[in-house]
Structure 1
Amino acid sequence: MTLVSLDALVAGARAGLLVSFPTDTVPALAALPTQAALIFAAKQRSQDKPLILMAASGPDLWPYVQGSDREYKIWQELTDKYWPGGLTLVLPASALVPKVMNPTDPTTIGIRVPANAIAQNILSRTGPLATTSANVSGQAPLQTMAEIEQQFPEVLTLITTESQNEVSAMGVPSTVAKWTGMDWQILRQGAIKLNF
């Protein structure tokens, strides 16, 4: 049985274990950025599909990206509008990002702040975590903690009450926008509709 309390999940994540918790889009599989290889292994995910760095707030994420003052201003205008929420920005990675987060292109990192109180509580206590949807690669994202516990028995999965059991607010993954150096490129239209 790997369903655990919030405190046990936070302690497990800090200790470098694989954890799962609800977000505002689909439930997340998460680990410390340095332990990101655990996520690739559990999901049977190919190395060319990078993970997302998720945190409780924008200021927690800015140290992991690098850009000019002008770029930071552009990025923050977008995050002020859509964070917390279902928007992932792919930005130039700083030296703080472990290569294992994005093995085939360590120069970029996807970052996001979820609009979910449980996720924010966890992330405010663990610091930024490497995350992705909770599912075997290529399969549909799992929607409940019970399904996650069944498919990933080795993962510390958050116990939720009956009312929270259908934890996925939307079941739609985040929108992913990549900064090209000049403007935005939409890699995936998801929870937030963007038009540039």
Structure 2
Amino acid sequence: MGVKDLADVDDRRLVPLLASDPAALEEFYRRHVRPLTRHVTRRLGDPHDAADVVASTFLAAMESSAAFDAGRGKPIAWLYGIAGNVMAMRWRRGEAESRAVARLHGRRETAQKDDFDRTDDRLDARGRAQPILAALPGLPGSERELLALVVHDQLTVGEAAEVLGIRPGTARMRLARARARLAPRAV
């Protein structure tokens, strides 16, 4: 099948073909590379790091396409989940490398004044957010997941609804309920 033949094929049918059909991989990539790149860039802040993560995500998707279970969710949510795992793995590896370098040097580099200011700002923000963060585990899982996509990943409600496989109206209702539950905790 050529790419033109696959233009109308649903993602659920494309995913199992990713490892064996280059045209299917190309079509799936074409459909999702831009939104995934935006998502990862928002999370990482660096477009170069985001490009590496997106490439690793599509490689992992291709390698694990046979294990995709359409009954567990939409392909877009599966793809974003892979991206989240790739980012977490990079973060853990980066943290381990930083600790190793610090041990090798026997000391930490002296921080610049701007570093101290940023740290103070983060501590202030964390202090203000603490009551809300403490209330998050009490929210239903569907509301927590939606909040994470909208607040942390900075997706629109429509994009988050698509990732979760729900209608935008349902997502707006869940978000309103979550905000109402968290509002008393906000200072």
- The interval holding the TM-score normalised by the smaller chain is under 0.3
TM-score, normalising length: structure 2: 0.25
Instruction: Decide which structure has greater helix share.
Output: 2
TM-score, normalising length: structure 1: 0.24
Q: Which has the higher contact order (CA 8 A, sep 6+)?
A: 1
- Asked which structure has the greater CA Rg, the reply is 2
Instruction: Decide which structure has greater strand share.
Output: 1
